[in-house]
Structure 1
Amino acid sequence: MGSAARSASAPAAMPRARADAARNRERILAAAREAFVRVGTEAPLDEIAKAAGVGNATLYRHFPDRDALAQGVVLAVADGIAERGRLLLAEESDPFEALRRFVCIAVEEKSSALCPLMSHRINLDDPVIRSARDRTEKVAIELLERAQRAGAVRDDIGAGDVLVAVSQLARPLPGTVTAGMARFIERHVTLFLDGLRAPAKSPLPGRPATLEDLRAQHC
């Protein structure tokens, strides 16, 4: 009887275990993202585990070393931005509002502050990393071009211009407290977005920046 009861409960226990593991993974990635942005990729892993509310063994079970954790953070951020961008394409009827919200999402996810992870800890030629980057860039291009076709955004910019601006605006100034920068970042992101609107108030020097231009700079 006891054996039968244990067998009956096993299928229910397994989904719960998987759900718990998935939640632990998400908490670890969120805590690592904040720690890496705040103090760099050498942030103590035991402090990341503590912030996530898990033990060190749980962290290492999901991410055996620092490089694996860094890759997990970058993938989670890229996939999160791409997924939310796809929802905007499907659900937001105002093309400029969709682009505005996408820019704010990228800033909120601190994607630009994670650039050092990609250059020091991540192999940019890894197919998994490249695929995640391509998905995010594809959504950015679609949102920008849709807004341009609608006449809502000036036509003398490219996706590279948008991503460069987001990178610069979202990165805190050296020596500042990251949390205290939020109100300044919000103001300057709004200024940038207003500058995207058509008709343009003044011509831009040079040509629109492409994603290939950005890759040539080796972030």
Structure 2
Amino acid sequence: MATVTDQPQRRAPRPRADAVRNRERIVAAAVELIVEHGTELPLDEVARRAGVGNATLYRNFKDRGELMRHVVLTVTDRISAHAEQGLAAVEADEADSFGALRTFVHAAADERIGALCPILHATFEHAHPDVVAARDRLTVAVEGLIARARATGQLRSDVGVGDLMVALSQLTRPLPGTGCMDFDRFVHRHLQLFLDGLMTPARSELPGEAATLEALRQE
């Protein structure tokens, strides 16, 4: 007679392909709306832009907080992967340190890094274990890129990871108003100007102290 331990383990059913696509469309729509309008995104508009009904949205995400958390995790993981790839390329002598940092900055822009603004929002669930883990992974990877570029004398010494991330978030989000919605065509041009300003020799002394992500979250 078979014991309990002899019984085959039941696997959770895989989500249907259309359900996965709907979830991905919802997240993509939320990313764009956060970049364009900030964290107070109307869920009805998320559903409309994703091409799904409100019921479908709420089946996947119970409220705005859960949706924003998933957006943050998705974008953070993608950006972290780019930073880690840059580090690996430097360590394998396949890229110079500042070149890897430059490649990361442009890749982060393409991943819509401006959607990470909820991390700095007062009402966001910063202490959620998944968010903490994702944020720490990103911080370690970007700090690694910055440290290597600084060690080779290519990156000015008074720039911190917070400075980089804040500038990236600001430069990749459109200004308020519909007149600036055709913003993406300028992003990489302006990022290149910003990156040139990070290189040594520095033309000026920066006021204040280098920003850290921890300090930004506390303000």
TM-score bucket of the superposed structures, by smaller chain: 0.7 to 0.9
| Aligned-partner Cα distance in 1 for 2:170–2:39 | 19
Aligned to 1:4: none
Aligned to 1:60: 58
Select 1:106's aligned residue among 102, 105, 108: 108
Aligned to 1:137: 139
Q: How does 1:145-164 map to 2 (within 5 A)?
A: 145-164=147-166
Q: How does 1:43-192 map to 2 (within 5 A)?
A: 43-91=41-89, 93-112=95-114, 114-116=116-118, 118-119=120-121, 121-177=123-179, 179-192=181-194
Number of residue equivalences:
204
| Aligned-partner Cα distance in 1 for 2:119–2:216 | 16
Which 5+ residue runs of structure 1 have no aligned equivalent?
A: 1-10
Alpha carbons 1:113, 1:170 under 8 Å: kept: no
SS at structure 2 position matched to 1:180: coil
Q: Percent identity?
A: 52
TM-score (normalizing by structure 1): 0.78
How much does 1:30 deviate?
0.5
Which 5+ residue runs of structure 2 have no aligned equivalent?
A: 1-10
How much does 1:199 deviate?
2.4
Report the RMSD for the aligned CA atoms in angstroms.
Answer: 2.7
SS at structure 1 position matched to 2:20: helix
Change (3 A) 1:167 1:51: closer
How much does 1:42 deviate?
4.5
TM-score (normalizing by structure 2): 0.78
SS at structure 1 position matched to 2:142: helix
Greater helix share, 1 or 2? Answer: 1
